[in-house]
Structure 1
């Protein structure tokens, strides 16, 4: 695939989005191991990615986009993540910011920012901070200025900021209220630092963003905290994207394990077969992995259907049901992504550990990405919901 035009096409349907994603995933898969091994940042790949029109698929139809279902969005992310887990994660907060915009933005803000996305611009993120009391605390400050607002602070885990044209940034005003500021990447006083050193998801660019009295226009700031003070689909949308990434990683590890065992692995001496793929214990292990992988993929699709309901008919009950369905998907996608990445080596054998194969990236990617929030609390929320009719908390993680 190559960029033959600067004109970004607008995708018009779910079927078209999935077709484009499948073609793009096949292309991304070719050099995925090389990009990971050399930490080759995917600037060219992201230009291609955004110029396919896929970054605009959640723009509502009323604003010129396809307004695809959450089922489709999750499948698109899973397809890309299966090809390259970092490329699957980079647009996550882009779609998250678009959902905040859909829920809390004004008509004028939606018109302007959606148009930028449909023209091919990418949104990164500057949400999380390190050194705070909890992972949800924010200290980056939004102060009123003569021509808008000024932002001062430092962020980390800023996935996608390195590659973005805008960086949606969580900020706290003088009253302690959080907002989301859509800051231009080239703003004076804004620095994006490529200091991400995680052993997985190596090319996401999830490093630091520093704001040194950065000016942002008033029309580029939208309410953020209020999206979690009432039932909205914002939190569940963030969570289903996490589940999609992990499901994609699991699929990639599973398929690489199949290929390696078929083509390179030798059978164990006690298997009484000359072909590793006929080893009865290997067959059992692959069967166990495939059942859990297919269950995770089915739960992801089911979760998307619940989220679609919550987006079209938002209430406390529909948002809670979506949150729980997505928590179930996240629990299993976490476990199968780690299991597939680890069991791969048990089934493929010592040859699979050689650096030239790059198979270790699947477990490393899964281990790093699944740390976004603990799976043990997913089970707690699910059990509390079914046993005690207790709705999960209104936030981006449960």
Structure 2
């Protein structure tokens, strides 16, 4: 299917833009506060997470609380008034939020990735303008990927120069966060085929977001089709994203590490649900010789194994975060490759443990855990859906080429 054949009959279901919060967002002061704020929010987000998934309820209040908390500006550089926390801390924040509700954790991914890209490729004047927006609590959505193209890097969306602004035309899909965003970064090509982020107002004339996301997992990531019909974007908001991949930068690893953190969060949630169910609802097996399900030796071994593998993934996630910190401060071919490799390793383990933990939950908790009233299958559905964002089998290729032949990973948003 080509982009010109995408069905847009549901355009009448276009979702109107929402007003921005009237109060300025909080600004986090340091890494410790970022973690503490994330844990406080997660305590609230988890309460209705199963219901939001079951009924596909948009997390409107939760998203406002998330962005107003200051956690959406934690990678704004200190030179522009931001916290500039470690990427190890940023990853932990996303993991904590994702353990409570992985859809909410994913919504922040592209926002934080675009903030990182602005730091890498924008001039100081543009950085000052856009970082000020982020510090106020402005949320970036995204309109990156396109439906039906041969490869993820193939874009048909383009813009034309119109003096002090550009005009964007195209269609997008997989647009996490776009429904409730304040600004929508659009990946669009110029006349030379270079990819830019054209950051449009969510309510810009010609920008239509349709609520047609129908995946069985990550059901409330506020994604959907984005239609772009002569959308005007001021050149002040035209970010040369392509520059982040012309030379070694940490931009790709940053997009990837946030993906990893969502998956370790899902795994953590699944293990927590397993432990709670086994200790409160499961029955001991007839041949086990024990009175309580939590004394079953096979269950004990399995929970120990799952937790060990999660801790291994989390350790690599933290290692990758610190490697990204070094690559951001000193972007060389070697530091960037180090960050990419560490992140790829973490991606492999996070995918494996997310799938394993969400599957093992039912084996250990028993038949009762499959009842609709618990909605525990959301963890498997979320893990299976989210881990498909980029194929982990290609991470093994990156690792093997690097460790066997010294070949550095490619420079793009999936590496």
User: What TM-score do you get using the length of structure 2 for normalisation?
Assistant: 0.94
Cα distance in 1 for partners of 2:118, 2:128 equals: 10
| Aligned position for 2:98 | 81
1:81-119 C-alpha deviation (Å, 9 max, x unpaired): 000000000010000100110000111111111111111
| Aligned position for 2:357 | 340
1:276-318 C-alpha deviation (Å, 9 max, x unpaired): 0011111111111111011111111111111111111110000
Cα distance in 2 for partners of 1:178, 1:7 equals: 32
Aligned residues: 395
| Aligned position for 2:381 | 364
Cα distance, 1:223 vs structure 2? 0.8
Cα distance in 2 for partners of 1:284, 1:339 equals: 14
2:387 aligns to what SS in structure 1? helix
Cα distance, 1:146 vs structure 2? 3.9
| Aligned position for 1:194 | 211
1:241 aligns to what SS in structure 2? helix
Cα distance in 2 for partners of 1:166, 1:50 equals: 13
Residues 367-386 of structure 1 correspond to what in structure 2 (within 5 A)? 367-386=384-403
Cα distance in 2 for partners of 1:205, 1:372 equals: 16
1:332-353 C-alpha deviation (Å, 9 max, x unpaired): 0001001000000000001100
| Aligned position for 1:211 | 228
1:357 aligns to what SS in structure 2? coil
Residues 1-398 of structure 1 correspond to what in structure 2 (within 5 A)? 6-398=23-415
Cα distance in 2 for partners of 1:124, 1:40 equals: 18
Cα distance, 1:5 vs structure 2? 8.3
Cα distance in 2 for partners of 1:232, 1:285 equals: 40
The alignment's C-alpha RMSD in Å is 1.1
Cα distance, 1:6 vs structure 2? 2.2
2:247 aligns to what SS in structure 1? coil
Cα distance in 1 for partners of 2:270, 2:176 equals: 23
Cα distance, 1:174 vs structure 2? 1.6
Cα distance in 1 for partners of 2:25, 2:408 equals: 42
2:199 aligns to what SS in structure 1? strand
Misfit runs of 4+, over 3 Å: none
Cα distance in 2 for partners of 1:62, 1:391 equals: 31
2:221 aligns to what SS in structure 1? coil
